Chain A
Amino acid sequence: MIEAIWNNLTDPALFATVLRVMTPLLLAALGVLISDRAGVLNIGMEGMMLSGALVGVLASAWTGIPFVGLLAAIACGALLGALMAGAINGLGTHFIITGIALNLAAASATTLGLYLATGDKGMSGALQSGVLPSLHIPLVRDMPILGPMLSGHHMLTYAAILSVPVVSIMLARTPFGLHIRAVGADAKAAATAGVSRNRTQLYALMLSGVFGGAAGAYLSMGYVSWFAQNMTAGRGFIAIAAEVMGMGTAWGTFAAAAVLGIAETTAITMQALGLPNELMQMIPYIVPVIVLTVYAARRQAKARAHS
């Protein structure tokens, strides 16, 4: 049994599986990261992903072009981000409650939208929607060993991984990133320096929505071509956990998403070996709790040592 698990875990195809599983987590977690650094942790990520997943399928089915679906999903995420920012800074609602409300609204609205478009509340099987392509990189794909590892993954997988340095540099080295960090650290001080909290948080949440919409599109158009009710199944929440595990940096978030991707892949592998699949499904939800608790305990120990 142990040997069988080991053999499965050292299988080269596993690398591809980890990438496949971690892509939506990474995209969503980067979105959460941007919002968190701006001081408005995006609890509504789950709802953004779910909405993006549906809108992507609908747009792709209506136009027949998967890329239009992706763009529509991204636009939908950005719009929801703008709405969140409007509620938080315009109406003055608490950002956590705003996120919860978005999740509730998205769960209802996607079911409603699916029903209006297809007459079915469960699945979008009746719609002819497309699948976003995988990329085969010329030259690289012919390289021995590295070729199959680097080439042939999903376009959004590449996009997600490339986003890590982009977001990292954006946060650390651009004026916009500085505004985000300033507003997140101390909105009043930022205002004194002429940085508008409202505008910065609006852009941050819209950008967060762009990532959320793309993550949603990956779920409904990445490898499958359908939308199902509540198909995100808590991935938005895992993404929040991944961002917190990543300690506020893009590379940390990447590492956390990779750890959770490996955890989920292990779970899938062990299910295939006949271990109870419900117990295996728990793994990606328990790992973040353990990691966050260990972090917190270490932080506490450090604080004690200093005092």
Chain B
Amino acid sequence: MMRSILAGLTEFALTLVVVAAVILAVLVPVALSQPDAGEVLRLFLLGPFGTMRHVGNILELATPTMLTGLAATLIFRAGSFNLGIEGSFFVGGIAATAAALLLPLTGFIAAPTAIIVGALFGSLACMVPGYLKVRFGASEMVNSLVLNFAFLYAGVFILNYFLRDPNAGALMSYRLPADFGLDRIMQGTRLHTGVIVAFAACIIGGIWLYGTRGGLNLRIVGLGPGFAQHLGLNTSALIMRAQIAGGLIAGMAGAIEVLGLYNRFSWVALPGHGWTGITVAILARENPFLVIPAALFLAYLQVGGDMLARNLAVPSEVVGLVTAAIMLAVTATAIFRHPAFLRLIRDIKGEEQAA
């Protein structure tokens, strides 16, 4: 037991080293282009921990991506490459807005109701490609890629024709009633109660995946659909359930993001948190528990990037490059499946069996 934990830690340490190397590889050239290179590195790496307000910003940014990361984890675990999470997130946001503007609710049930509506409608964007895959065998990846945009334009249509406030300057919805807003929980930041939901969801997701029969079945299906079938598992139903669950969570994430941060809905493009969720899931090695630190880490990078943009003439887009490079580096089998590394892991684990 101890040794397998040690083996896990070794892999984690290697991940940390690789990620650190990637950050430095992108950041050092940027830093050298500035008059004070040390200041760039200090601001980016330590700045986000400088004040409680910045720590609050990290949590605030990690809230949506923890949830989309969890959604991506469940879907990937089922062995499918459904990229509808981005669409689900967007639809969740607009559906929650519609619910808040149209449902005559007040008091403490208002916000949860809107979040549930957001989750239900949001799940469609993952459910449709998932269903077409399970029922007809159509590629869920290609379908979800293009359907994301179909859902985007459908949402913008609803915004423009039904929810638009003509008195607002730009294309945005009417003001959301205050009862639908989520409570702010930290002075000076926009951190809201949604962050608690995000933490709880990841922990529940982890317990479910590793501690229940349903989670075990899902992992078996993802690892080998043929084998799962031989065991008598209903693979189609299991895969479908994972797509729906992923869609519900991503839709919920969109709803929470809108109700927690904004008083009007104004997305007219895909916000990108779904894609970040995919990066989070990959970085977390598709483990719901690790989704929490992975999302926090990417949020930390983003806050560091924002601080560079605000204080020095370094645009925050640098973070996008770092994120993309991390995505490649942590999935590089040449590093993590290198014979020397595998031998090391085996040695650490192997002594356990001998002992």
Contacts and interface: CB of A to CB of B under 8 A. Distances in A.
A15 B61 CA distance: 48
A296 B146 contact: no
A112 B314 CA distance: 9
Interface string A274-305: 00101101100110110011011101100000
A96 B146 CA distance: 15
Interface string A99-112: 01111110111011
B154 A104 contact: no
A276 B160 CA distance: 9
Interface residues of B, number: 45
Contact of A101 (B147, B150, B328): B328
Contacts of A282: 149-150, 153-154, 157
A104 B160 CA distance: 28
B32 interface: no
Interface stretch (B40-48, B111-119, B255-263, B317-325): B317-325
A157 interface: no
Interface stretch (A57-65, A87-95, A129-137, A200-208): A87-95
Interface in A256-280: 276, 278-279
Contacts, number: 139
A237 B143 CA distance: 10
Interface residues of A, number: 48
Contacts of B282: 97
Contact of B324 (A108, A237, A281, A296): A108
Nearest to B161: A276
B327 A241 contact: no
A92 B334 contact: yes
B81 A96 contact: yes
Contacts of B329: 91
B140 to A, nearest CB: 10
Contacts of A220: none
Given A93-B328, A97-B328, A109-B320, A238 B136 contact: no
Contact of B156 (A115, A121, A278, A295): A278
B281 to A, nearest CB: 11
Which 3 A-B residue pairs are closest in the complex by CB-CB distance? A108-B320, A92-B333, A278-B157
12 contacts: A91-B334, A91-B335, A93-B328, A104-B324, A104-B327, A112-B318, A278-B156, A282-B153, A286-B146, A286-B147, A286-B150, A296-B136
Interface of A: 43, 87, 90-94, 96-98, 100-105, 107-109, 111-112, 115-116, 121, 230, 233-234, 237-238, 240-241, 244, 276, 278-279, 281-282, 285-286, 288-289, 292-293, 295-297, 299-300
